[in-house]
Amino acid sequence: MNYGPKPWQQSNWDFRAALNFIFGGAGAGLLTIAAFSGLGGNALRAEFLLGMALIGAGLVSVWFEIGRPLRALNVGFNPFTSWMTRESFAAGLVFALGLAAVWLASRPLAQAAALAALVFAYCQGRILQAAKGIPAWRVPALIWLVFTTALAEGAGLLVALAALFDAPARGVLGYFSLALIARALAWSMYRGGVTKSAVRPALAVLERAGKLLIQFGTIAPLALLLAGWFAPDIARIAVLLAGVAALATGWQFKFVLITRAAYNQGFALPHLPVRGTR
Amino acid sequence: MTRWAMVADLRRCVGCQTCTASCKQANATPPDVQWRRVLDMEVGEYPAVKRAFVPVGCMHCDEPPCMHVCPSTATRKRPDGIVTIDYDLCIGCSYCAVACPYQARYKTDRASFAYGKPTAAEKQGFDPKRLAVATKCTFCADRIDAGMAKGLTPGIDPEATPACVNACISQTLSFGDIEDPHSNVSQLLAENQTFRMHEELGTGPGFYYIWDKKGEEAAA
């Protein structure tokens, strides 16, 4: 039995940190699907610029949170153990390769940038998992949930944007569906792990966010894609809604994860002091 | 090798917070920042209520999660086990604060003083380097180093001992080298039953809590 003050919501990382995971993940996911979806020319350029802008917005957001913004470059000093340093390196690579791909309209460079974006998304998962002080974050399965939601959000964004202009390719919709299913599976794994470590208030908010992720972020989009498949008249609007739902639920989950479910470890005594005679 | 560690005898602590006050005075920490603090834990229901006072702070872990996550290498561990922060390197990202399972780290963005304007003592102790970066207990490393340079023994000689240990009115807190089997802390650990907080996380805290004598359970 443990005794001690109850854990409380951490206040060191607020919505600004959450935006790094929200925008960064979606941007990385968008770069990934854009590079491998067969897009070319100006369409690829536009998707890449949007993806990099999202990652950049996330990094700028977190830059506003750090105490000494003029020392921001010091973030690169510890690649040996810090996933934050590794994330910054991956981001640098994404921008270098991505901008070169846009400039030269090169698909191989775009695919190389997408691989760097995948590393970036993975680093984001590892950043949270390495935070031992937050039980809801240190669950190993969170890495894959952060990673797969990045893929699902990026795919959701791409199909939603594509649906504004034309019906997205079937291959893209297939990838989007797989990303949604992978995210749902990752949520299921994470849920199994987090119930063993997180405190009740954290579990309550995660459960609500997870329900949205499954109901409106997985089942509803898949149902909309199916509806669009069988009823071509509504296909574009169905795909648009599916994409927006996948994106919005992923973002709300990460916002909750960082700003609502991040209860700290608290203090606990495995034994009480034995004083006087017994 | 030397491994500095602190031992708190939970049977002795009366929750007077003298260690807290002493730490604040010695390290000139601003309001709301307590590198050494004492938790007041009340457990159970009447009439079976128990109360424990628990000194907490940086545990100077063997495997400090704060150090591993730090992107700027500002957080480091000395060979003697003391975990330090280089205020000139720290970017104030607070990653260490969320990685620490002991809530031992603080970040103060703006200068603040107990009565608005700084008192003479606050003026003297104010260090702008500590603004907007992570700060925490240092085990009074400067006192230890200065004392040892004079040939003194930390944990025995007050001049070489952390301020909180010196100030403790009930001898709850002890400080010393746990690698030395003859040290005060090694003897306390040998004679008593101890635990370390959140040991299951694998951090290897350098802060031990005594909760009972050894062997008494068997005797009872």
pLDDT over threshold 70, residue B219: no
CA A195 from chain centre, in angstroms, equals 20
Q: Report yes or no on A5 lying in a domain.
A: no
The span from the CA of B137 to the CA of A270, in Å, is 24
Q: Are A92 and B107 in contact (CB under 8 A)?
A: no
Band the pLDDT of B217: cuts 50, 70, 90: low
- Of the candidates B212, B162, B213, the one whose C-alpha atom is nearest the C-alpha of residue B5 is B162
Q: Report chain A residues whose CB lies below 8 A from the CB of B210.
A: 273
- Of the candidates A19, A43, A226, the one whose C-alpha atom is nearest the C-alpha of residue A124 is A19
Q: Which of A43-57, A86-100, A135-149, A166-180 has the lowest mean pLDDT?
A: A166-180
Cβ neighbours of B215 (radius 10 Å): 11
DSSP, collapsed to helix, strand or coil, labels residue A9 as strand
Q: What does the pLDDT look like over A59-96, one tens digit per residue?
A: 999 999 999 999 999 999 999 999 999 999 999 999 99
User: To the nearest whole angstrom, how far is the Cα of A211 from the nearest Cα of chain B?
Assistant: 26
Q: Report yes or no on A129 lying in a domain.
A: yes
pLDDT over threshold 90, residue B64: yes
Question: Which is more confidently placed, B46 or A206?
Answer: A206
Radius of gyration of chain A (CA): 20
Q: Where are the domains of chain B?
A: 4-219
Considering only the beta carbons, identify the residue of B11, B107, B220 that sits closest to A273. Answer: B11
B15 touches chain A (CB under 8 A): no
The span from the CA of B114 to the CA of B122, in Å, is 9
Q: Report chain B residues whose CB lies below 8 A from the CB of A10.
A: 97-98
Considering only the beta carbons, identify the residue of A81, A84, A271 that sits closest to B211. Answer: A271
Cβ contact B39–A67 (<8 Å): no
How many residue pairs from chains A and B have C-beta atoms closer than 8 A?
155
Beta strands B4-9 and B207-213 are parallel
Considering only the beta carbons, identify the residue of B50, B97, B131 that sits closest to A272. Answer: B50
Which residues between 145 and 204 in chain B have a beta carbon less than 8 angstroms from any beta carbon of chain A?
193, 195, 197-198, 201, 203
Q: Report yes or no on A114 lying in a domain.
A: yes
Interval A156-174 mean pLDDT: 92
Question: Which is more confidently placed, A2 or B209?
Answer: B209
pLDDT over threshold 80, residue A3: no
B89 touches chain A (CB under 8 A): yes
Cβ contact A130–B56 (<8 Å): no
Q: Tokens 């994409």 — which residue?
A: A243
- Of the candidates A80, A83, A64, the one whose C-alpha atom is nearest the C-alpha of residue A138 is A83
Cβ contact A66–B91 (<8 Å): yes
User: To the nearest whole angstrom, how far is the Cα of A261 from the nearest Cα of chain B?
Assistant: 13
Which structure tokens are listed for B196? 């370390």
- Site from A74, A87, A138 to mutate, B interface, most B CB atoms within 10 angstroms: A74
**CA angle (B12, B15, B16) in 5-degree steps:** 110
ipTM: 0.94
Report the pLDDT value the prediction gives residue A1, as an integer from 0 to 100: 41
B91 touches chain A (CB under 8 A): yes
Report the pLDDT value the prediction gives residue B213, as an integer from 0 to 100: 92
Cβ contact B203–A264 (<8 Å): no
Q: What does the pLDDT look like over A208-231, one tens digit per residue?
A: 999 999 999 999 999 999 999 999
| Residue at A40: amino acid letter | G
The span from the CA of A152 to the CA of A187, in Å, is 12
The span from the CA of A263 to the CA of A11, in Å, is 9
Half-sphere exposure of A59 (CA within 13 A, CB side): 23
Q: What does the pLDDT look like over B69-94, one tens digit per residue?
A: 999 999 999 999 999 999 999 999 99
| Residue at A243: amino acid letter | G
Residue A3 is given by DSSP the state B
User: To the nearest whole angstrom, how far is the Cα of A126 from the nearest Cα of chain B?
Assistant: 10
Interval B45-66 mean pLDDT: 94
Cβ contact B216–A278 (<8 Å): yes
Report the pLDDT value the prediction gives residue B42, as an integer from 0 to 100: 86
Cβ contact B98–A133 (<8 Å): yes
Q: At the top level of CATH, which class does the domain B4-219 belong to?
A: alpha beta
Interval A151-169 mean pLDDT: 93
Average pLDDT, chain A: 95
The span from the CA of B136 to the CA of B81, in Å, is 15
Band the pLDDT of A186: cuts 50, 70, 90: very high
Which structure tokens are listed for B127? 């260090």
Looking up residue A144, the CATH number of its domain turns out to be: 1.20.1630.10
Q: What does the pLDDT look like over A192-202, one tens digit per residue?
A: 999 999 999 99
User: To the nearest whole angstrom, how far is the Cα of B150 from the nearest Cα of chain A?
Assistant: 35
Cβ contact A267–B43 (<8 Å): no
Q: Are A47 and A39 in contact (CB under 8 A)?
A: yes
Q: Are B75 and B83 in contact (CB under 8 A)?
A: yes
Q: Please give the residue range of the domain that contains residue A229.
A: 15-259
Residue A217 is given by DSSP the state I
pLDDT over threshold 80, residue A5: no
Q: What does the pLDDT look like over B95-127, one tens digit per residue?
A: 999 999 999 999 999 999 999 999 998 999 999
Considering only the beta carbons, identify the residue of A12, A267, A272 that sits closest to B98. Answer: A12
Backbone phi, then psi, for B87, in 5-degree steps?
Answer: -65, -20
Considering only the beta carbons, identify the residue of A12, A72, A133 that sits closest to B101. Answer: A133
User: To the nearest whole angstrom, how far is the Cα of A145 from the nearest Cα of chain B?
Assistant: 19
Report the pLDDT value the prediction gives residue A4, as an integer from 0 to 100: 55
Number of domains chain A is built from: 1
Q: Are B146 and B140 in contact (CB under 8 A)?
A: no
